[in-house]
Structures are given as C-alpha cells and as structure tokens.
Amino acid sequence: MDVQIDITKSKLETESLLLRPWIESDVNDFYEYASVEGVGEMAGWEHHDSIEVSKKILQSFITGKDVFAIEYKENRKVIGSLGFHYSWANDDPKYKDLKLKEIGYVLSKTYWGQGLMTEAVKKVIHFCSDKYTLDALTIGHFSENNRSKRVIEKCGFKFVKQSEHYAKQLQKTFIKMEYILPLSSSICSE
Ligand SMILES: CC(C)(COP(=O)(O)OP(=O)(O)OC[C@H]1O[C@@H](n2cnc3c(N)ncnc32)[C@H](O)[C@@H]1OP(=O)(O)O)[C@@H](O)C(=O)NCCC(=O)NCCS
C-alpha cells in the first residue's frame, strides 16, 4: 500500500550532507545542476533550459512535501534531490499489502563519484524504517545507468525484475531495472 511521506519537519544529517526540505531560495543551486545535460536524462527528465523551469519544479517539491534537498555541508550548496514516489510494488500482488515507497535521486555532476548519494540513501533507509515503519523501499534504474546501479547495490537492494518505462519528457522508452529492500520481517527477500 502507498504511504504518505511528509518531509517538511525532517532534517537528516550525514558526514557530508544535510537532507532537508526545499526552500524557494534554492532555485539558483537547483538550476545550476539541473541545467546540465546528461543529469536529469538519466532519471527520465530533460535538463532545464531556463530558470523558470527550475522554479516551477522546485515549487512542486515544496507543495508535494516528499522530496529532500541535498545540501553539501562544506559549502552549503544544494547539490541534489532525493524524493519519495508511488512504488511499482504497490501493483504487485506479492507486495501490495505492505507499506511501500519508491525512492529516486539526482546529484549534481560536479559531485559524482565521491560516495555522496550512497551516503544519502543509507540515511534515508534508516529514516523510512524508524519514522515511517515501512515494510520495504523500492528503487529502479535505467538499464544503461551503471552509476545508479552501483549505488543501489551498495545500499543492499535486491534485483526483482525489469520493466519498460516510457519517459514522456524524453519521448523514449527505457528498460528499467527494479529493486526492493525489505525493512521489516513482513517481507522476505527471496
Ligand atoms: C546516480 C548518481 C546519483 C550516483 O551518485 P554518486 O554520488 O556519484 O554515487 P556514488 O559515488 O555513491 O557511487 C557511484 C558508483 O558508480 C561507480 N561508477 C562511476 N562511474 C561509473 C561508470 N561509468 N560505470 C559504472 N560504474 C561507475 C563508482 O565507482 C561508484 O561505485 P564504487 O563505490 O563501487 O566504486 C549520480 O551519478 C547522478 O545523479 N546521476 C544522474 C541522475 C541519475 O542517474 N539518477 C538516478 C536515476 S535511477
């Protein structure tokens, strides 16, 4: 079953990062990384071609209350996002009675390869299990996205299946690899 997540009162701290709600003044940092070609495209959306696009999406993050801004503690810049979505597993008879959420993330290209998203995801896993007592988290990556694949593996998710995903903004169909991470004893991971 789907679960409502409200991150507006949550702040999660890791060694290098602060995960916190978005605020309107984050727009320049958001545009800086979201306008770089090849970042959003790996997650199914087109890079932003104007700051107006970033403003609109940022507003939807604030209203939706289910996306963290990822702030880099060293320079206080927002360098990415991590959000909660409806999970494919809600539509699978094997998992549909469980409390589930899908996570998705994007990081500024400048900061790739330093272990930062793995650090963020590991923290969020604890948050979901402690605060929301979720039974499982799910996650997915496009088949060619080996960086995201590694993050998912390093965080302990188990591969379940592959599916087709049509990315409307990119007008392209991708093969998506879907994973699950059990968080409670209500689910076995075989
Ligand atoms: C996917 C993404 C979030 C990864 O963040 P990150 O902080 O760079 O991830 P980490 O540093 O924690 O881990 C990256 C891993 O990929 C590996 N890697 C780097 N380049 C790689 C490549 N070309 N092929 C395969 N693996 C690669 C790294 O070595 C590292 O694995 P390791 O720790 O085993 O060495 C980031 O690349 C990103 O934002 N990409 C664009 C958006 C996106 O793909 N979102 C996810 C949609 S599913």
Residues 69-96 pLDDT 10s: 999 999 999 999 999 999 999 999 999 8
Model pLDDT, residue 50: 98
Rounded to the nearest angstrom, the distance between the alpha carbon of 15 and the centre of ligand 1 is 19
Q: Mutate which of 147, 155, 159, 170 to test ligand 1's pocket (most atoms within 8 Å of Cβ)?
A: 147
Q: Are 37 and 48 in contact (CB under 8 A)?
A: no
For residue 150, the CA-to-ligand 1 centroid distance in Å is: 6
All domains of the chain in start order, with CATH: 12-182 (3.40.630.30)
Q: Could you tell me the pLDDT band of residue 188, with boundaries at 50, 70 and 90?
A: low
Contacts of 93 (CB under 8 A, 6+ apart): none
pLDDT in tens, 37-51: 999 999 999 999 999
Site residues for ligand 1, CB cut-off 6 Å:
39, 42-43, 105-107, 112-118, 141, 145-148, 150-151
